[in-house]
Every structure is written in C-alpha cells, then in structure tokens.
Amino acid sequence: MSIKYYDIVPKNEGTAGADDFRRALIKAGFEPADKAGFRWRSSSSDGNLDVYLMAFREPCLFFSNTRTLKVACPFCRTPISLADWHRAVSDWRAGGGAFTTPCCGKKAGVRQLIYDPPVYFARTALSVCTRGDSGPPSGLLARISRAVGRPLGFVERLC
C-alpha cells in the first residue's frame, strides 16, 4: 500500500466555514497541532492521523483526475468535452455567468453539470494523508461528518 492524499469536502457546504470545521475537529477528538489551527492530530483506532484544514476565500473545485472525469449536460445527459468544461470553469472563476451547453443551448452553472466521479465545490476542505488505497479511513469520515453535521465527500489528490 502506498501513501495517498485525500481532500475531504462537504458535499453541500451551505454556510459552513473554517470555524465550523475547527469546532467539528475538536468534537471529533482532534487536537490542534499548530497555533493557526490548520494542522490537527488525532490518535485513534485508525492510527495517528494528521489532517490539514484548508480555507479559501472563494469556492474551489475538488476532483481527482481530469483525464478520467466525465462531464455531462444536466438537461439531456450528452457528454460535454473537457475542453468546453475547462472553458466553462475559467469563465466561472472569472466571475462569468452560466455556461451554455453545446448540445441543447441551455444555460447551466458549472455546479449543475453532471460529473462522474463527483466534483465538489467548497471553500473549506480537510486534507489527510493515509496508507489506504480506497479513501480516507471510514471511521474518520464518519466522525468528522457527525461533528460538522454534513455529509462529506472525498477526492484523491494527485500531486
């Protein structure tokens, strides 16, 4: 088993921010390992885990691998090329409006497109390094999800 990095993100962030995640980490038995509260440590049956809290001013996209990502139109499910998707994402990052789907010419926000595997949009994420091949330990996900009161998703970070 190799070391892998995962980003854990709320599936629907709502108004939750970095402070909510700090409170959730404390509730989940983590201790701050730096003064700024970005690095946290927990000893549990999952072993010693370090998690890093990442907070951004604007929502970021979290996805594993664009080469295998499939994007589709939310109206007719026609695949959207990655080139079109990249253009839609740059427009969205630049504060542009909705993306016009090439297949049906309807407007859709980048968050509304169909993604396989899922793409998450969040201002707050937890980064964890583990030896698991199939994702962060499920116990860890359950603890943090309960504490923050939101379902969580994760993506593998390809460095």
Q: Which residue is nearest to Zn ion (CB)?
A: 73
In the block, which residue shows the tokens 């994420």? 125
Q: Which is nearer to Zn ion, 65 or 100 (CB)?
A: 100
Q: Which is nearer to Zn ion, 78 or 100 (CB)?
A: 78
Give the other-Cβ count within 10 Å of 7's Cβ: 22
SS3 of 27-61: the string is HCCCEECCCCCCEEEEEECCEEEEEEEEEEEEEEE
Q: Which residues 6+ apart lie within 8 Å of 34 measured at CB?
A: none
Of 149, 128, 143, 141, nearest to 54 by C-alpha is: 128
Q: Which is nearer to Zn ion, 101 or 127 (CB)?
A: 101
If one asks whether residue 101 binds Zn ion (CB under 5 A), the answer comes out as yes
Determine how β-strand 120-130 pairs with β-strand 99-100.
unpaired
Applying CB under 5 A, the span of 80-88, 95-103, 107-115, 125-133 interacting with Zn ion comes to 95-103
Question: Nearest approach, Cβ of 60 to Zn ion (angstroms)?
Answer: 26
Q: Which is nearer to Zn ion, 60 or 82 (CB)?
A: 82
Q: Which of 60, 69, 72, 103 binds Zn ion (CB under 5 A)?
A: 103
Would you give the binding string for Zn ion spanning residues 66-85, x where CB under 5 A is met?
Answer: -------x-xx-x-------
Binding site for Zn ion (CB under 5 A): 73, 75-76, 78, 101, 103-104
